[in-house]
């Protein structure tokens, strides 16, 4: 292994402050990286593999972070996924994003704003503002680590399981930060160092870790090579990602929660005239190649341009979202022709008999499908609830109402939130849909 840089040595020296997670004699393995000068100065420590399922039935999830969280995009994706893709877990969620926040800021407000709701699981995403939009310096990194550790320990003391998220990356110097210095590469090297420190903190504290920086940084480079320089994975302002970057964030957190993505399967034997389904799906009728199903579990539905940074679908082409988290599998045996046309809803795809026998992922292949409209209704209900949660915390808890009587404000705002939360479960209804399989002579 090549010698470690001074920056990486410093991070390793105090990633856990009192107790380093890696000994100097056995430095950590590094992530593989593309053979391009763009990555030459980066030394990302290899992220830990996701563990077993972290979630438990009935968990209450808190999604915490700065303005990127307050955008309510990756948080909406996470809550929607947990609601419709794994409904048996019956997870509820709240988002606590606060624009401009650093880890120290959340630490100061977490008891009043977050812990009062008794979360059993929490995700955190800090570091973007903490790195101060400047090149790496030891004092700032130490300050960040101290507050990250304090947050984790406060959650653990409250009985909350933690997914510690790394910061993301930047795409340009933020024009609104007058104290920003250095180059874009300098800022990303700093963010990568904080990401490395987060890995050490997660290891020392026994929490899950969600790697946002490195997948976002590498995907952003790949997207520009593939789609052009205008594709901004970190957002057009260089800091606040649009849907593509936010999808990578949601993917990182969902993977870190130990989710595996088997959202259902349909087994068809055309020769025998039989069909079965499982994992949230029930066959209502099968006749002459037409399969009618009633589903109480949805795939994650995402349309949009495959090459734009404001599209979830574009991100799905850059990371293995569908392969890892979104598999709705159709397997067909006994086809009487070498190819078949599969029609699902208003769209059709042609597959070879060999492909169908192996299994095809309908969620990946049909951007618009019979679940799309129902999925959108749930997403809108979640967006409305999360929008109120921002108002509840920022405007009411930290406004005149909260300053006068915090306890009454909490009770009153929960009554306002209750119908918004209920609207989510009301909007999530079973979907009846039809798959037609037609051999092509």
Q: Which two tokens stand for residue 37?
A: 């000068």
- Compute the average pLDDT of residues 265-293: 97
Tell me: do 415 and 293 sit in the same domain: yes
Give how many domains the chain has, as a whole number: 2
Of 239, 256, 273, at which residue does a domain stop?
256
- Give the span between the Cα atoms of 241 and 222, in whole angstroms: 16
Domain boundary residue, one of 256, 290, 307 = 256
For the chain, what is the radius of gyration of the CA atoms?
A: 23
Shared-domain flag, residues 316 and 390: yes
Q: Decide which of 256, 272, 303 is a domain's last residue.
A: 256
Give the whole-angstrom CA distance, residue 312 versus residue 319. 11
* Residue 107 shares a structural domain with residue 161: yes
pLDDT at 190 over 50: yes
Which pLDDT score, from 0 to 100, does residue 27 have? 76
Find out whether 212 and 165 touch, Cβ atoms under 8 Å.
yes
Terminal-to-terminal C-alpha distance of the chain: 58
2 domain-assigned: no
Distance of alpha carbon 214 from alpha carbon 36, whole angstroms: 15
Q: What is the pLDDT of residue 303?
A: 84
- Decide if 209 is inside a domain: yes
Q: Are 311 and 301 in contact (CB under 8 A)?
A: no
Tell whether the model's pLDDT for residue 1 goes beyond 90: no
6 has pLDDT over 80: no
Answer yes or no: is pLDDT of 357 > 90.
yes
Backbone φ and ψ for 230, nearest 5 degrees, come out as -75, -15
**10 lies in a domain?**
no
SS (H, E, C) 280-343: CEEEEEEECCEEEEEECCCCCCCCCCCCCCCCHHHHHCCCCHHHHHCEEEEEEECCCCCEEEEE
Same domain, 115 and 139: yes
Confidence of residue 24 (pLDDT cuts 50, 70, 90): low
Bigger pLDDT: 6 or 418? 418
Confidence of residue 9 (pLDDT cuts 50, 70, 90): low
- The CA distances from residue 47 to 30, 85, 289, in Å, are 8, 26, 46
Evaluate whether residue 13 is within a structural domain.
Answer: no
pTM of the model: 0.95
Cα 431 to Cα 297: distance, rounded to the nearest angstrom: 8
Tokens for 231?
Answer: 């594709």
Q: What is the pLDDT of residues 59-69, one digit of tens each?
A: 999 999 999 99
Do 75 and 94 share a domain, yes or no?
A: yes
136 is in which domain, residue-wise?
19-256
| Residues 251 and 276 reside in one and the same domain | no
How large a percentage of the chain has pLDDT more than 90? 93
Strand-pair category, 431-440 with 339-344: antiparallel
**Which tokens in the block code for residue 338?**
């070498």
pLDDT of residue 22: 53
398 and 441, same structural domain? yes
Average pLDDT, the chain: 94
Instruction: For residue 140, count CB atoms less than 10 angstroms from its CB and return exposed for 0-12, middle for 13-18, buried for 19 or more.
Output: middle
* pLDDT score of 28: 83
């Amino acid at each position: 292994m090549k010698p470690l840089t001074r920056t990486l040595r410093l991070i390793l020296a105090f990633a856990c402050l009192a107790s380093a997670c890696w000994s100097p004699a056995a430095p950590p393995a590094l992530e593989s990286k593309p053979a391009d000068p763009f990555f030459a100065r980066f030394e990302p420590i290899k992220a830990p593999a996701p563990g077993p399922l972290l979630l438990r039935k009935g968990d209450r999830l808190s999604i915490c972070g700065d303005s990127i969280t307050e955008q309510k995009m990756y948080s909406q994706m996470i809550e929607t996924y947990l609601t419709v893709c794994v409904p048996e877990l019956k997870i509820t969620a709240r988002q606590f994003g606060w624009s401009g926040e650093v880890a120290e800021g959340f630490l100061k407000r977490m008891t009043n704003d977050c812990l009062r709701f008794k979360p059993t699981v929490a995700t955190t995403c800090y570091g973007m503002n903490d790195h101060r939009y400047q090149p790496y310096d030891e004092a700032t990194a130490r300050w960040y680590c101290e507050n990250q550790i304090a947050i984790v320990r406060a959650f653990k003391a409250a009985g909350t399981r933690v997914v510690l998220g790394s910061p993301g990356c930047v795409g340009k110097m933020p024009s609104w930060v007058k104290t920003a210095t250095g180059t874009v590469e300098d800022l990303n090297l700093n963010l990568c160092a904080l990401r490395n420190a987060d890995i050490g903190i997660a290891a020392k504290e026994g929490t899950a870790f969600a790697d946002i920086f490195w997948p976002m940084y590498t995907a952003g480079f790949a997207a520009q090579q593939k789609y052009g320089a205008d594709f901004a994975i970190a957002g057009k302002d260089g800091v606040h990602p649009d849907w593509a970057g936010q999808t990578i964030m949601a993917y990182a957190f969902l993977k870190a929660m130990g989710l595996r993505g088997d959202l259902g399967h349909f087994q068809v034997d055309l020769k025998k005239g039989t069909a079965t389904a499982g994992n949230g799906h029930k066959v209502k009728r099968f006749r002459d190649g037409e399969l009618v199903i009633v589903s109480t579990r949805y795939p994650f539905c995402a349309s949009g341009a495959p090459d734009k940074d404001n599209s979830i679908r574009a991100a799905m082409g850059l990371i293995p979202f569908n392969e890892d988290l979104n598999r709705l599998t159709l397997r067909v045996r006994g086809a009487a022709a070498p190819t078949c046309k599969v029609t699902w809803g208003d769209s059709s795809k042609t597959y070879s008999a060999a492909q169908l026998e192996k299994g095809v992922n309908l969620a990946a292949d049909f951007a618009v499908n019979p679940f799309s409209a129902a999925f959108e209704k749930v997403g809108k209900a979640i967006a409305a609830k999360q929008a109120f949660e921002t108002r509840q915390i920022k405007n009411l808890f930290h406004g005149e109402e909260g300053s006068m009587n915090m306890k009454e404000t909490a009770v009153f705002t929960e009554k306002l939130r209750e119908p918004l939360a209920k609207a989510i479960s009301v909007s999530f209804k079973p979907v009846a849909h039809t798959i037609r399989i037609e051999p092509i002579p």
